[in-house]
Amino acid sequence: MYTLIVLLPLIGFLVAALFGNAIGPKASEYVTSGLLILAAVLSWIGFISFGFGNGETLRITVLHWMQAGDLDVSWSLRIDRLTLVMLVVVNTVSALVHVYSIGYMHHDDSRPRFFAYLSLFTFAMLTLVTANNLVQMFFGWEGVGLASYLLIGFWYKKPSANAAAMKAFVVNRVGDFGFLLGIFGLFVVFGSVNLDTIFAGAGQLLATMGGEHAEAAGEGAAHAAPLLQFAGYSLSAGGAMTAICLLLFMGAMGKSAQIGLHTWLPDAMEGPTPVSALIHAATMVTAGVFMLARMSPVFELSHSALTFVTFIGATTAFFAATIGLVQNDIKRVIAYSTCSQLGYMFVALGVGAYGAAVFHLFTHAFFKALLFLGAGSVIHAVDGEQDMRNMGGLRKHIPKTYAMMLVGTLALTGFPFTAGYYSKDAIIESAFAGENAFAMYGYIMTVIAALLTSFYSWRLVFLTFHGKPRASHEVMHHVHESPPIMLVPLYVLGVGALLAGLVFYPFFLGGSYDAFWNGALFAGPENHILHESHEVPGLVVWSPTIMMALGFFLAYVFYIRSPERPKQMAARNPGLYQFLLNKWYFDELYDFLFVRSAKWLGRFLWKKGDVAVIDRLGPDGISARVLDVTNRVVQLQTGYLYHYAFVMLIGVAALVTFMMFWGMI
């Protein structure tokens, strides 16, 4: 069954890609969507039927892949609770996106290609989450990178779409370079890329290094033989594991759009809206979170690496939320929200609350996919308009979409008893209970981000659905509700956004935690975060709810009671407004440091190196001189007899003169 779950999207991709033009767009849509629905149903069956407490990790070998020296890699599926959670998330959201796309893309002439790319994306993600070794995981890792490039640049006739696809591909390659080095490091240290071998070795290394604060133990054993040689340094056990974990996290920063490697994510909005829902809700951006959760036994060997993860996650949660405050494109607001929520997940991972991180990944998939597909329904209703400043007053025209957007907003902001309320609050409480140097920083940043999230989320709702219509009369005249093929996926996701937290909290984080996870996440004696997070002060427990209510109140005042106030504040603080509107100038900084310098270097090598040196002095220069000589020699061949006689006479005279001088010598 599990092999079938992974292969069904691949079959859909092959059918749509190879035979799409022959069978037509409708058949391509129905085949790929039907196979994804079947995969989603089988994933839920596996998730529910997997035993609680006695469900052993399954290892299903599909084929023997490669063997080179000590490197022995089989294509093998690792089925445990973490894998099953990801299978449910990926296949459920992907199936709903497939169905939604039947309605959203019905005017596009390249639907077979689009649905083929969607299925390829899903297959790559399933390969990643079911991998039982790091090489297979990296194959899926690169596969989602390739598929994202194809989907973001799907409308390849738009220069902006091509630029966004290239940006996503290049930025992710930066992170993937670190991930690849981390895999090499693990192979050097543990002699294998197989996860079971690595986790067993990590357990032994943790015991020899003294458990908690492994680096300190590593420093104490500095006289021992170094465990790893890296960048010219000899690293002991603690230093080696810190370097490896930071390299692995570098890969996660690229895939999950953490600050510094985040710039590709908002530009990915150039792709069709269903692509945004798939990339930002359940697949590509969650790959980094999943990888850190999967490798939690390794990350427990480096307290410093986990501290750095906490810092980056907290900074990203705050940073992305501040940018979301002033964005005007409805999809970009939700994209920066995704970036911010991923920061929350990394805060949880950094403090050791792995269950809370995966729980937020699980609930976030439902309400974020709901928000993206709801935004697509809005865009569909207003004839492709994405600027919220040109919307307003839509709630009476598209009430079903409005209701679903409200549900998604409530869940995102953490309204009591919605999905986000349980998972986001669990992260904030875990950060407060955390013990690393940046745990309190993580708590403060996530609480502030909760306020900002509530503000920009309700700002989106008020600007889009409330107030007077700001679109033209012609656009408002044609505003219409989406067809059922687009609304049904919204309803399903709405149920998940409301109930996923309430239903699954006892298993992910409650009393059934140990039986539910059954060793799929690290749960060593040093990890007290789950217990301690349940005993934080009441003010900490209520702080995200208070911030949620305050954010709603401020958004109501700014965009319902006094709509002119935002413009007045922007006019009074032009520097801050432009700083946020221009996304902290990261793109401009990278353009100056990397893009312009690379272009300058390329132009210099072209003009000075290639043209001035190689062309002038190299093969082109030599060939030009040969042509000059031959052209002059050719001029001697006139065809006149007296010219040849004259040359012969000169030759005879020269020969006689030479012989005379030779005789004198």
In percent, the amount of the chain with pLDDT more than 90 equals 49
* pLDDT of 614 strictly over 80: no
Instruction: Quote the pLDDT of residue 136.
Output: 93
Instruction: Quote the pLDDT of residue 211.
Output: 46
Distance CA 138, CA 193 (A): 11
Query: What is the average per-residue pLDDT within 512-517?
Result: 82
Instruction: Quote the pLDDT of residue 137.
Output: 93
User: Among the ranges 328-332, 409-413, 516-520, which has the highest mean pLDDT value?
Assistant: 409-413
Query: What is the average per-residue pLDDT within 384-398?
Result: 86
* pLDDT of 224 strictly over 60: no
State the pTM of this model: 0.87
Instruction: Quote the pLDDT of residue 109.
Output: 84
Choose the weakest-confidence range: 49-53, 299-303, 382-386: 49-53
Instruction: Quote the pLDDT of residue 52.
Output: 62
Distance CA 523, CA 515 (A): 12
Instruction: Quote the pLDDT of residue 16.
Output: 92
**Residue 178 pLDDT level (bands cut at 50, 70, 90):** very high
Choose the weakest-confidence range: 68-77, 211-220, 273-282, 539-548: 211-220
Instruction: Quote the pLDDT of residue 212.
Output: 44
Q: What is the pLDDT of residues 83-110, one digit of tens each?
A: 999 999 999 999 999 999 998 888 888 8
**Beta bridge partner(s), residue 63:** 75
**Residue 499 pLDDT level (bands cut at 50, 70, 90):** very high
* pLDDT of 216 strictly over 50: no
What sign does the dihedral 557-558-559-562 (CA atoms) show? positive
Instruction: Quote the pLDDT of residue 249.
Output: 94
| Count of C-beta atoms within a 10 Å radius of residue 564 | 8
Instruction: Considering only residues 302 and 51, tell me which one the structure prediction assigns the higher pLDDT.
Output: 302
* pLDDT of 352 strictly over 70: yes
Choose the weakest-confidence range: 21-25, 53-57, 549-553, 582-586: 53-57
Q: Which residues of 317-340 are buried (b: 16+ CB within 10 A; e: fewer)?
A: bbbbbbbbbbbeebbbbbbbbbbb
**Residue 218 pLDDT level (bands cut at 50, 70, 90):** very low
What sign does the dihedral 48-51-53-59 (CA atoms) show? negative
* pLDDT of 497 strictly over 90: yes
522 closest CA partner among 301, 343, 247:
301
